[in-house]
Amino acid sequence: MKNPLRNNSWQPVCRPLRFILALVIIFNLLNPLQTSAQQAGLTDTAKIREYIDAKMAKKPAYPRAVGYLSFIIPIVTFSNTTTYNFNKGTASIGFPVGVNVLYSDKFGFSYEFTPTIKSTGGASKVSNILFDPGTMFRFEHGFTFISRLAFETSGRYGFTPVFNQVYARSKGVNYFVALSTPVRFGNATDASVGLNVQFGFTFN
């Protein structure tokens, strides 16, 4: 008589346990599918993120600053007389250094200092220092037009249009060549216009 009663008392308890056990088994069967779907979603999201990061890496952030080093050779200066460089034992060469602050693919601002070394009769000295800031108008294929103001320690002042072209690129630096036509006034001297050629490189 005791055994049937004991079995009947366990039946109400076993039914909820069986139901919970069935739910656990169903959940475990479905869970791998859900995990795979989540992993696929994560993979797709990672690919999209990599694509966006690659696009952002190709397009430089603005504003940004790049420094440069160069040397400039005056070719000829026209005033009341015509003066050629490397003539009559006299030679001059400048060393422009500066920073270009680039605000977009089309526009920037350049800050440049140019000490000039002049050699005459076997003696050389720093004859002049030029500060010539200017606006940069950037075009395709590495061409840039720079309109510079000019202030010299010799007392001369004026402006300098510069036509700049990048002719070679590498991961670290870009190499450029430029032609400039300095126009100068002041210091009780006739106005003058010259022609210079400049070679240098910018740091990327």
pTM of the predicted model, to two decimals?
0.70
If one counts the domains in the chain, the total is 2
> Are both 133 and 192 inside the same structural domain?
yes
Do 30 and 130 belong together in one domain? Answer: no
Q: Does 68 lie in the same domain as 54?
A: no
Instruction: Tell me: do 112 and 175 sit in the same domain.
Output: yes
The reply to whether 90 and 55 lie within a common domain is no
User: Which of 59, 78, 97 marks a domain boundary?
Assistant: 59
The Cα-based distances of 171 to 59, 178, 203, 204 in angstroms read 15, 21, 9, 7
User: Of 16, 41, 59, which residue is a domain's last?
Assistant: 59
Is the same domain home to 133 and 35?
no
3-state secondary structure 47-81: HHHHHHHHHHHHCCCCCEEEEEEEEEEEEEEECCC
Same domain, residue pair 18 and 118: no
Same domain, 179 and 88: yes
| Same-domain pairing of 68 and 152 | yes
Q: What range defines the domain where residue 31 resides?
A: 1-59
CATH code of residue 100: 2.40.160.20
Q: What is the pLDDT along the chain (204 residues), one digit of tens a residue?
A: 445 545 555 455 556 666 666 666 665 665 554 445 455 554 667 777 776 666 555 667 899 999 999 999 999 999 999 999 998 889 999 999 999 999 999 999 999 999 999 999 889 999 999 999 999 999 999 999 999 999 999 999 999 999 999 999 999 999 999 999 999 999 999 999 999 999 999 998
Final residue before a domain boundary, out of 40, 59, 78: 59
Return the closest-CA partner of residue 89 out of 39, 138, 123, 132.
123
Looking at the structure, do residues 137 and 178 belong to the same domain, yes or no?
yes
